[in-house]
Structure 1
Amino acid sequence: MTKYLLIHQNFPGQYKHLAPALAARGDQVVALTPKVDKVTKWLGVTILPYKYQGKPARGLHPWLVDFETKFIRGQSCYRAARALRERGFTPDVILAHYGWGESLFLKDVWPEARLGLYCELYHTADYPFVGFDPEFTGSAPEADALRLRMKNLNNRLHFEIGDAGISPTAFQADTFPPEMRQRITVVHDGIDTAQVTADDTARLALPDGSEVTPEDEVITFINRNLEPYRGYHVFMRALPELLRRRPRAQVVLIGGDQVSYGAKAPDGQTWKQVFIDEVRGQIPDADWARVHFLGRVPYDTFLSFMRVSRAHVYLTYPFVLSWSLLEAMSAGAPIVASDTEPVREVLSNGETGLLVDFFDREALVDQVCTLLDDPALRAHLRAAARAKVVAEYDLKSTCLPRQLAWVDGLTQLAPRPPLV
């Protein structure tokens, strides 16, 4: 029996399927997370709580605030790990999503454990990672390389002690420097294609009390939070013309009001409201009544949202690919997406979706209209997109077995000791 310790600030996160699979085969699986308040059992996994201790100092240089927050979290997790060791638990393998810093000092507690890192992104100062969207360039672009070098401290310190990494897409893995990239295996988290399917009987309730089905002309757009990194501003600026050209369309958006990536909106506003205010005067009241913001929704509502979509729009900077794109493909939503590198890894123009320049809102409107006017094209793209997800990203047949093989490979590695 192998002993595993899992670290994730929002457990289970990316370990939603892997952790129960390890427990199901008879391994001992323990998770440390601040998400719970008491010891919890979940699908064979023992989840232990701990609290962050300490607060960031006032007046710290802004480039150091990010790392200080990670340091505080790492020190808090270190204390919890020492207490766990004193109770007799010694893991053979530690699996950590290290993006928030919690696992910085775990090799100091268990130097013989193998540390497997979930590698989300390495911050680079080159175009298109910086300067992709000139509208939102920072106030001191000449210092971006310095700022991002500091932001990568967490990446570099973890790769000093990490024995191997795993990344969900090649695009994300390839952002890491060669000496790190060679230790990263690309395996996606996986899509449950048996659950995420098309459903011609789907119905989606709208805030005005009406509902839509696959028989309606529904245009969909989703962000975790509605913001520029995911093209919300481009979509909203395309909306007046899209509504004018599609007088029967219902436009449905899912997303929160906060910020997941990038800078906050100015003057205490939300990006959602900033771009509503920008376009609202261009849209007659009767057309605005066909625009529906659902906020954040339960997963069942999300699935209905994808299943009723006749044209799903996905836009993103060159950044981490959203799970929702692969889920849209699996659910049979015909897709118009930005022609950016992470998207091109999973979508081919004219084969599994339609791609447009991220900034070209006129082309975006044209391609959405093309999709809405051509049932045969929609059917072709839907079938091909789902086939790709089933073949390459299916959770049970492809991704989870490859994740387990990667984890088993960790036990064969000589552990990297902490450096002073």
Structure 2
Amino acid sequence: MKILFIHQNFPGQYKHLAPALAAAGHQCVALTLRVKEATTWQGVRVLPYSIQRKQGGGTHPWLLDFDTKVIRGEACFNAALKLREAGFQPDVIIGHHGWGETMFLREVWPNARIGLYCELYHRTDDQHLGFDPEFQPQVPLAETLRIRLKNLNNLVHFPVADAGISPTHFQADTFPEEWRGKIEVIHDGIDTTAMTANPDVRFSLPDGSEVTRNDEVITFVNRNLEPYRGYHVFMRALPRLLKERPNAKVLIVGGDDVSYGARPPKGQTWKQIFIDEVRGQILDANWARVHFLGKIPYDQFTKLLQVSRVHLYLTYPFVLSWSLFEAMSAEAAIVASDTGPLKEAIRHGENGLLVDFFDGDALVSECCRLLEDAEMRRALGQAARQHIVQNYDLQTHCLPRQMQWVDHLASLTPQPLRD
């Protein structure tokens, strides 16, 4: 079978699936913006394409998001035409449509089956758009209209795709009912053999010192430190947490940029805004126990989770982070926000603890309770790993189901072209 992958940052979510399909004897090709020259990666022929067109200066602000996706869709369309002219006719196209690249591929290959990675359908109800009262738009109704227009990319893809895949039920359930029936819920998978407990782990801190499992280590991880992932709630809880745990070291991973939600005022970062807010409440000796690590290599990230005594995770009702599942796989004791995405990952009191997203005092209290109770930490951590192994293990669960999903996709009748 000939399989074409589309991902602007390939391999992205396909870092396990694409090599597995290539190893199974399928001819796998990927189109991506990530490389500048054609290359081969784990049996996959990776081909570059580039964006030539710039955004128009007169685009309405509510349409800027869709404009970028059409531009990317056009660029991928042009690359697909060249690939077709070279004789490549995929049986299956697998793509992440979040950036728009797959928008026009049905026109290029009308007989291909198209399967999309369905990350999120943007909702405008209070649970989603109005979740955090602190960060509300100046004109809420106008923001509702803008968010509704963000779904234009989803809506133009619905008639194109034959099937979808989504990593969690929460994410899949954001999609409208008429599309939800096409989406299979299969997580990307956690390598539980690599991400496992290690009693002998040692993690180096920026000051040259080390922490081990004998140290009281509290971890907090975001891709970028921002309100969508509860950074503001965590930071406001930090002064009390440091006072109550005089021996704790707090290790914080995350960049200074914005992955989701609104940007901070020009020239500032959410990271520094909330540091400035709480720093005056924290003694210098206590602040010395807080370590901002930035973004770290994956091998160091693994050690970080293995050395964690309590891992804190907060999120808006949004896409669930891989880091939570990886922390659970490493047997970390979890305190997380009681928000929608966590419902299918954490059972309160069984494999972790849940607190109200906005309740910093509860976050501190539950963290301290775990730090005081080694048996509870052990039981929750072991149960957390068992949950991940049983439901999200890469080799025994997720990857085999992904392969079955591809076989199912290949058996479908392609969607007809529609005006």
State the TM-score, normalizing by the size of structure 1: 0.99
Name the stretch that deviates more: 59-68 or 347-356. Answer: 59-68
Q: Which residue of 2 aligns with 1:218?
A: 217
Contact residue 5 and residue 32 of structure 1 kept, 8 A: yes
Structure-1 separation of matches of 2:270 and 2:417: 42
Q: Which residue of 1 aligns with 2:266?
A: 267
The Cα of 1:143 is off from its aligned counterpart by: 2.3
Q: Which residue of 2 aligns with 1:149?
A: 148
Structure-1 separation of matches of 2:26 and 2:416: 24
Q: Which residue of 1 aligns with 2:184?
A: 185
Name the stretch that deviates more: 218-227 or 147-156. Answer: 147-156
The Cα of 1:145 is off from its aligned counterpart by: 3.0
Q: Which residue of 1 aligns with 2:401?
A: 402
Secondary structure of the equivalent of 1:255?
A: strand
Secondary structure of the equivalent of 2:120?
A: coil
Structure-2 separation of matches of 1:302 and 1:3: 36
Structure-2 separation of matches of 1:387 and 1:418: 45
Structure-2 separation of matches of 1:314 and 1:145: 28
Structure-2 separation of matches of 1:295 and 1:286: 21
The Cα of 1:66 is off from its aligned counterpart by: 0.5
The Cα of 1:266 is off from its aligned counterpart by: 1.0
Amino acid at match of 1:259: V
Deviations 1:214-260 (A, max 9, x none): 11000000000000000000000000000000000000000000000
Unaligned runs of 5+ in 2: none
Amino acid at match of 2:212: T
The Cα of 1:207 is off from its aligned counterpart by: 1.2
Secondary structure of the equivalent of 2:57?
A: coil
The correspondence of residues 17-416 of structure 1 with structure 2, limited to 5 A, is 17-416=16-415
Secondary structure of the equivalent of 1:367?
A: helix
Structure-1 separation of matches of 2:388 and 2:121: 26
The Cα of 1:212 is off from its aligned counterpart by: 0.5
The Cα of 1:341 is off from its aligned counterpart by: 1.0
Structure-1 separation of matches of 2:142 and 2:417: 31
The Cα of 1:411 is off from its aligned counterpart by: 1.2
Structure-2 separation of matches of 1:209 and 1:21: 40
Contact residue 129 and residue 144 of structure 2 kept, 8 A: no
Deviations 1:320-344 (A, max 9, x none): 0000000000011111000011011
The Cα of 1:59 is off from its aligned counterpart by: 3.2
Contact residue 9 and residue 33 of structure 2 kept, 8 A: yes
Structure-2 separation of matches of 1:263 and 1:385: 32
Q: State the superposition RMSD in angstroms.
A: 0.7
Deviations 1:330-389 (A, max 9, x none): 011111000011011111100000110000000000000000000000000011000000
Identity %: 64
Contact residue 310 and residue 367 of structure 2 kept, 8 A: yes
Contact residue 191 and residue 393 of structure 2 kept, 8 A: yes
State the TM-score, normalizing by the size of structure 2: 0.99
Structure-1 separation of matches of 2:116 and 2:89: 18
Q: Which residue of 2 aligns with 1:7?
A: 6
Secondary structure of the equivalent of 2:134?
A: helix
Q: Which residue of 2 aligns with 1:16?
A: 15
Contact residue 53 and residue 73 of structure 1 kept, 8 A: no
Deviations 1:75-111 (A, max 9, x none): 0000000000000000000000000000100011000
Contact residue 315 and residue 339 of structure 2 kept, 8 A: yes
Deviations 1:141-175 (A, max 9, x none): 11233212211010011111100000000000000
Structure-1 separation of matches of 2:266 and 2:68: 25
